[in-house]
Amino acid sequence: MCGIVGYVGERMAIDVLLDGLKRLEYRGYDSVGVAIASEELKLFKDKGELSKIEAQIPRWKGKMGIGHTRWATCGRPSKNNSHPFVDCTGRIALVHNGIIENHLSLRKQLEDEGHVFTSETDTEVLVHLMERHYNGDAHAALMAALSQVKGTYAVAAMVEGDDRIVVSRKENPLVIGLGVGENMVASDVTALLSLTNRVLYLLEGESAIVTAGGITLFDADGNKVEREPSTVTWTVEDAEKGGFEHYMLKEIYEQPTAIHNSLLGSLDEIYAGAIIPDIEINSVKLVACGSSSHAAMVGKYIIEEMARLPTTVELASEYRYSPGTGESPLTILVTQSGETADTLAAAREARQRGCRTLAVTNLVGSTISREADHVFYTNAGPEISVAATKSYITQLMAMYLLGLRLGTMRQTLDRAEVRSLSNELRSMPRYVSGVLDRASEIEEAVDMLAKADHIFYLGRNINYPTMLEGALKLKEISYIHAEGYAAGELKHGPLALLDANTPVVAACVNDHTREKMLGNISEVAARDSPVLGIGVEGDRELEAITDA
């Protein structure tokens, strides 16, 4: 997740920007840049951590500027790919979070007009579009530029000789901090709290003109908006958690955005063969640890269903001990950090066995991304909580995307199926948001679990590894003993342990396992175990045999 900071006022802008960028470091980044409005536009940007390159940044005396920390998603980490970007005239500077989906076609048009690009990024088209439309009004130029793009953005821009920062947002956060004789903009309130606790949150589609003396706010239709600022009551430490009680809760609520970021651009890459080239693949082996191994288990069901490929799953910690079969499956290594020791060892062993390797990871530049033949980035953003939340769900998105690619390669999916499945994936952020909106109902439902000493999780097919992940989360976070089981195995021992003091969490959805799952839940209910059912809203049969 990239970071944006902007300042206009009476202070040295460079000092404010660097302080704000440091407060966003917890988000993770691979490069840093600042632009300062001095006598002329000044620019510094480079790959690396701020702490390592701060001494190289000149202390320009300008009182307006924008800064950025980048988490590479389009174009590798490099100086040229870092923000801010400057137009051909050297007068307009711009920073951006998000993804411009139609950047390739826009870039071609702009290059045909004579614009010279210096990076591989999607963002750079925005500053050139502003240059195309600039006629003395930075805000009008930005709005004209954004009207031509498809995708998501939080953007801040400024023009040499102007005293305004212009900003806008779509599906990416942006907040304005209100001071006395000074104002700031940032992608996260964390960066603002050293100067002010009075903020305006830009709503979807809104834009603003920010000067030292005030803010002019516009709605999505360009009409001026008056809105009272909010007062932030958090400390800086609290704000780093986005106002949530702890990082895990914050990251749970970031899941819709993480899914969105994971899918944007990735679908195009999958279709273009950028992740898996057109090679002969006879089988697949998924290798991972912990939560990633549960995502890999889901991947087995997906790949076998979509691509009709024999697929196995192996724990990374056990992979090196197996003798191998002499075959060379496509070996997919799943690791959030890209630094998991057992998974790295498995990757090296797979290469020695002559297997082509594909890493599914979140961190650009991680060890596994350098060592694997191919890399798929989940783009979940930094995950500070030890327990996987958004990293896990974006790994699931990766499994579906890989299934689509393999199914397309092997022609086991036709175009209509690919289109339908892609549309369903694009709806996932909305579905997950809908679940999170019912947090109070969920809290009431899980009260029945809080005092238990032992809990069972049951599921079938693709929901079986999901239940394993649920049990793992409960153990990690609540220290309650929990076990996940394939529901069909219930009668092979675990059923004897069920009683009124042993709750069961059961997943039962509208798929080909539904009737079997209803039977399993009835067996559990017969043992007087309280049942928390996870299913489709309006399933009366499920509601009739569950307690919550």
Q: What stretches in the chain show pLDDT beneath 70? A: 1, 26-28, 234-240, 265, 270-274, 365, 382, 384
CA 526, CA 352: separation in Å to the nearest integer? Answer: 53
pLDDT tens digits for range 326-348: 789 999 999 988 878 789 889 98
Residues 55 and 151 in one domain: yes
Burial class (CB in 10 A: 0-12, 13-18, 19+), 427: exposed
CA–CA separation, 265 vs 263, rounded Å? Answer: 6
* Residues 419 and 479 occupy one common structural domain: no
Report whether 52 contacts 13 (CB < 8 A): no
pLDDT value of position 232: 78
CA angle 455, 458, 440 (to 5 degrees): 65
User: Using H for helix, E for strand and C for coil, what is the string for 290-349?
Assistant: HHHHHHHHHHHHHHHHHHCCCEEEEEHHHHCCCCCCCCCCEEEEEECCCCCHHHHHHHHH
User: What does DSSP assign to residue 547?
Assistant: -
Both 110 and 8 in a single domain? yes
Same domain (yes/no): 421, 470: no
Question: Tell me, what DSSP letter sits at residue 509?
Answer: -
pLDDT of 365? 63
Please provide residue 472's backbone torsions phi and psi, each rounded to the nearest 5 degrees.
-60, -45
What are residue 284's phi and psi, to 5 degrees?
-130, 140
- Crossing angle of helices 463-478 and 290-307, rounded to 10°: 170
Centroid of chain to Cα 363: 11
One domain, residues 50 and 110:
yes
Rounded to an integer, what distance in angstroms lies between the CA atom of residue 132 and that of residue 160? 16
Residues 232 and 254 in one domain: no
Q: Which of 239, 265, 284 is the last residue of a domain?
A: 239
The structure tokens listed for 82 are: 């870092």
Q: In the prediction, which pLDDT does 307 show?
A: 95
CATH of the domain at 344: 3.40.50.10490
Question: How big is the CA angle at 199 (ends 197 and 204), to the nearest 5 degrees?
Answer: 150
Last residue of a domain, one of 411, 434, 457: 434
Q: Residue 218 maps to which CATH number?
A: 3.60.20.10
Whether residues 420 and 471 share a domain: the answer is no
**Cα–Cα dist 271/332, whole Å:** 18
Position 335, amino acid: T
> Model pTM?
0.61
What's the rounded Cα separation, in Å, for the pair 24 and 500?
Answer: 48
In the block, which residue shows the tokens 């009680």? Answer: 245
Give Dmax over CA atoms of the chain in angstroms.
Answer: 80
Q: Are residues 169 and 303 in the same domain?
A: no
Q: What is the pLDDT of residues 420-466, one digit of tens each?
A: 998 899 999 999 998 998 888 888 888 888 888 999 999 999 999 99
- Which of these three, 434, 461, 477, is where a domain ends? 434
CB 60 within 8 A of CB 42: yes
Peptide bond into 84 cis (omega under 30): yes
- State the pLDDT at residue 147: 95
Q: How far is CA 78 from CA 357, 491, 533, in A?
A: 25, 57, 49
Task: Looking at the structure, tell me whether residues 485 and 419 fall in a common domain.
Answer: no
Strands 504-508 and 454-459: parallel
Tell me the two tokens of residue 365.
Answer: 């530049």
Kindly list the distances between the CA atom of residue 502 and the CA atoms of 231, 310, 446, in Å, as whole numbers in the listed order: 45, 37, 13
From CA 441, how far away is CA 447, in angstroms rounded?
A: 10
Owning domain of residue 69: 3-239
Strand partners, 167: 156, 208
The alpha carbon of residue 182 and the mean position of all alpha carbons in its chain are separated, in whole angstroms, by: 32
Spatial contact of 357 and 351, defined as CB atoms under 8 Å apart:
yes
Contact 141, 86 (CB under 8 A): no
Q: Looking at residue 28, what is its pLDDT?
A: 65
Q: What is the pLDDT of residue 267?
A: 74
- The answer to whether the CB of 183 falls within 8 A of the CB of 211 is yes
Please answer whether residues 337 and 366 qualify as being in contact, where contact means their C-beta atoms are separated by less than 8 angstroms.
yes
Count other C-beta atoms under 10 Å from residue 403's C-beta: 26
Decide if 331 contacts 345 (C-beta within 8 A). Answer: no
Q: What is the pLDDT of residue 238?
A: 58
Distance CA(284)–CA(327), nearest Å, equals 10
- The residue to which tokens 């979940």 are assigned: 380
**Model pLDDT, residue 237:** 62
Tokens of 5: 């900071």
Token pair of 117 as six digits:
């690009």
Give me the sign of the Cα torsion angle 176, 179, 181, 187. negative
Question: What is the distance between the alpha carbons of residues 50 and 381, in angstroms, rounded to a whole number?
Answer: 18
Give the total residue count for the chain.
548
Are 533 and 509 in contact, with CB atoms under 8 Å apart?
no
Please indicate, yes or no, whether residues 257 and 152 belong to a single structural domain of this protein: no
Q: DSSP secondary-structure letter at 84? A: P
* Whether residues 223 and 286 fall in one domain: no
pLDDT of 27 reads 62
Structure confidence by residue, pLDDT tens digits, 178-219:
999 999 999 888 788 889 989 998 877 899 999 999 999 999
CB 547 within 8 A of CB 449: no
CB distance 314 to 360 below 8 Å: no
Q: How many CB atoms lie within 10 A of CB 387?
A: 18
Q: Are residues 499 and 391 in the same domain?
A: no
Give the number of domains in the chain.
3
